[in-house]
Amino acid sequence: MSTQSAISWHAMPAGDIAHAVSSDPRTGLDAAEAATRLARDGPNVITTRRGRPWWVRFLLQFHAPLLYILLVAGLVTWWIGEYADSAVIIGVLIANAVIGFVQEQKAVTAIDALARSMRIEATVRRDGVRHRVDAAVLVSGDVVLLEPGDKVPADLRLIDGKVKDLHVDESTLTGESKPVSKHSGCLPPETVLADRRNMAFASTLVTRGAAEGLVVAVADLTEVGRISEMIASATGVATPLTKRIASFSNLLLWLIIGVAAIAFAVGIARGNPASDVFMAAVALAVGAIPEGLPAAITIMLAIGVSRMARKKAIIRRLPAVEALGSTTVICSDKTGTLTQNQMTVCAAWCVGAEYEFTGSGYSPEGEVRVAGQTEPVRADEHAALREMLMCGALCNDASITARGGAWQAQGDPTEAALVVASQKLASDGLNSAELTARFPRLDVIPFESDQQFMATLHERGTEALGHTLAPVIYVKGSVERVLGMCDSAMSLNGKSVPLDQPTIRS
């Protein structure tokens, strides 16, 4: 398996890859062969490290220099008969451990539940027939069919002639915020991961187009599996807080020992009994220990973790929240890394009028106004605006849905922004779902970077007199490309007027 993971799949012709994985791209594997490979290689699931038992995680809550000092102090005070002080110190230690353990247990439970809920399905071709299967049963050599909204279930080498305007969001793998266009041609062996355009990698998301690919790596052999393995083998790093507490504890320990030793020496020098002097020195050392400090720190960190949880951020260990708070510089080479990677239509221009769109993100809440005015417009009074928004909604492969109280987009962010723009006039008949039902798509020319436009053909139904209306074509794309297809424009009242290309280009 290690040999297979070292193959430069992106540098091999598709025919050679099919031979290497013993599969036929036209029919895929047969069911018997797929079952044999699944039994041999195991499920397509990334191996997770076995977590520590709960009792080990509880004991680790005491693993801190300051807590060691408190533990010794509690035992010494018990030994000298100061049971009340000893009970207070031990109580602080236990409370500190319980708070930390409960917070960590909540995080572990949340992460486990999230992992269980993230079940991925895939469309495969086996025995020449399409099947929808659990991604865990995929094996090397399977033919996977990708469509918009699909999460890539394994590392795939795209098949020649089967890639149709495929765009994949690889931000989870490479950090690239914009969807990446794919093709099936061979690439040089030295091509870096982010530039392997003929591959589709596990955990990435298809935003546009369609394709078919041969599974060349599953489970731990995928690129995301390698990353998971690297994370699992990474050593722990102390946070600024734990470093300072350790430094303070060491300083405090030697200071207390020094003061107690001086007190003991002075008492002996003055002729006091050694037993009394020793007990006094121990009492002095115990009294100098700030037993409330660990509890105060733990409570403050627990409050920070709870606040982060309300922001939907899961933090497993308490000191991590302080590490986030102490961050002074964040280095990033992509805006999408730090933003929500959402696009919003803010303004639109039609012949003779400019419009403003309120609202932000993928929420359809907002209004459309003529620039400089406060009253929202009605689509039936602005024919050019209505046709423009209909084009944006119909010549589109994206969609928006409400999940858990938040709006989420499926597809390309730019296309999603156009859907949201039309939804802001949904009450005027521009609801994207209703438009799709009223104007069924008959055909499509998908967007290609070399042609710079997308076109869709739609039915228009019948007139009141029963005459069937001619189909309509909607086109969207770059200004230069679309202007070259036009010889007239639509005025605000819906009439055709001469096209003023110089004004538009300026």
Domains of the chain, residue spans: 2-44+138-232, 54-114+236-325, 347-505
Is 267 within 8 Å of 281 (Cβ atoms)? yes
Band of residue 421 on the pLDDT scale cut at 50, 70, 90: very high
What pLDDT score does 1 carry? 40
pLDDT of 339 higher than 90: no
What pLDDT score does 201 carry? 94
pLDDT of 137 higher than 90: yes
Candidate from 90-94, 184-188, 315-319 with smallest mean pLDDT: 315-319
What pLDDT score does 39 carry? 93
What pLDDT score does 49 carry? 66
Would residue 193 be called left, alpha or beta, if left means φ above 0 and alpha means ψ between -120 and 50 degrees?
A: alpha
Band of residue 291 on the pLDDT scale cut at 50, 70, 90: low
Active site (annotated) includes residue 30: no
Residue 37 CB burial class (10 angstroms; 0-12, 13-18, ≥19): buried
pLDDT of 118 higher than 60: no
Pull the structure tokens for residue 421. 């723009």
Candidate from 207-216, 254-263, 284-293, 361-370 with smallest mean pLDDT: 284-293
pLDDT of 27 higher than 80: yes
Cβ neighbours of 94 (radius 10 Å)? 12
Name the active-site residue from 85, 220, 333, 487. 333
pLDDT tens track for 368-396: 999 888 888 888 888 899 999 999 999 98
> How much is the average pLDDT of 129-144?
91
Band of residue 88 on the pLDDT scale cut at 50, 70, 90: confident
Cβ neighbours of 498 (radius 10 Å)? 9
The share of the chain scoring above pLDDT 90, in percent, equals 19
Candidate from 366-375, 456-465, 484-493 with smallest mean pLDDT: 456-465
- The residue with greater pLDDT, 287 or 423, is 423
> How much is the average pLDDT of 79-84?
78
Band of residue 72 on the pLDDT scale cut at 50, 70, 90: confident
Would residue 107 be called left, alpha or beta, if left means φ above 0 and alpha means ψ between -120 and 50 degrees?
A: alpha
For the whole prediction, is pTM greater than 0.75? no
pLDDT tens track for 232-243: 666 666 777 778
Mean pLDDT of the chain: 83
What pLDDT score does 57 carry? 80
> How much is the average pLDDT of 428-451?
83
* Closest-CA residue to 141 (of 278, 10, 29, 218): 29
What pLDDT score does 237 carry? 65
Q: How far is the C-alpha of 166 from the C-alpha of 145, rounded, in Å?
A: 12
Range 2-44+138-232 has CATH code 2.70.150.10 = yes
209's enclosing H/E stretch is strand 205-217
Candidate from 216-230, 303-317, 473-487 with smallest mean pLDDT: 303-317
Range 347-505 has CATH code 2.60.40.1180 = no
> How much is the average pLDDT of 60-68?
75
What pLDDT score does 2 carry? 41
pLDDT of 151 higher than 50: yes
Q: Please tell me if the domain spanning 2-44+138-232 has the same topology as the one spanning 347-505.
A: no
What pLDDT score does 3 carry? 43
What angle, rounded to 10 degrees, do the helices at 383-394 and 413-423 form?
140
